[in-house]
Amino acid sequence: MHAETEVVGDTVVVTLLEPRLDGARGLKLRQKVAELAAGGTRSILLDLTAVEFVDSTGLGAIVSSLKLLGKGGRFQLCGLSQPVRVLLRLTRMDQVFKSFARREDALMAAGSPCSPV
């Protein structure tokens, strides 16, 4: 999985650089989020601008990432392509994940601190 991470305030932005989030890439995303969570990160923004396709394993990895941060954490999405938006709608994950069209909007919204653990 090719990805870049950048720290903006208290949020770590994980930007996926490949067009697919599936199989092994999904597992690597989960690993990455687990490492960040273990290191104390409480707010993650997953930038999916480059991602055109998410399969069931990829969706599982996104959900696992949310769970890894726990109730006190914040896991948000931005840059959803139409197929990814449709997948989230079909699985009702659009009601679970807060998503933003642009990364800047998400970071502005993330300005408020995470709720206490």
Partner 1 sequence: MVTVQAAMNSPTDSPGIPPRPTVLVIDDAPSVLALNAAILRHVGYRVLTTESAVDASLLMARETPDVIILDYMLPVMDGPMFLRQVRADPRFANVGVILLTASNQEKHIEAAFAAGGDDFLTKPVDRRILVARVNALLETRRARARAAAERDVAEERDALLREVAEAKQTQSAQLPSFPVTWNGWRLEGMLQSCGHVGGDLFDVIDQGPSTRTFALLDVCGHGLAAAMVASSVRSALRLLVRELSAERAVAALNLHLCQLNDLYVCIALVQVGEDAITIVNAGLPPVAVVHDGAVTALVGPNGAPPGLFEESTYDSIRVERRPGMRLVVMSDGLTEAFGLSDCTEATAQRLGLLDGAPTSRELEAGVRGLLSGANSAHADDATLLVLSDERGPPRSRGSKGDKDAR
Sign, CA torsion 103/27/42/116: positive
For residue 58, count CB atoms less than 10 angstroms from its CB and return exposed for 0-12, middle for 13-18, buried for 19 or more: buried
Q: Is 72 in the site for partner 1 (CB under 8 A)?
A: no
Q: Is 70 in the site for partner 1 (CB under 8 A)?
A: no
Q: Is 107 in the site for partner 1 (CB under 8 A)?
A: no
Among 29, 69, 66, which Cα is nearest to 51's? 29
Report, in Å, the least distance between residue 4 CB and partner 1: 23
Among 14, 48, 87, 107, binds partner 1 (CB under 8 A): 87
Number of shown-chain residues binding partner 1 (CB under 8 A): 20
Q: Is 63 in the site for partner 1 (CB under 8 A)?
A: yes
b or e along 61-79 (b: 16 or more beta carbons within 10 Å of the residue's beta carbon)?
Answer: bbbebbebbeeebbbbbbb
Q: Is 86 in the site for partner 1 (CB under 8 A)?
A: yes
Of 4-12, 35-43, 51-59, 102-110: span binding partner 1 (CB under 8 A): 51-59
d(CA 47, CA 43): 13
Q: Is 68 in the site for partner 1 (CB under 8 A)?
A: no
Among 7, 9, 31, 91, binds partner 1 (CB under 8 A): 91
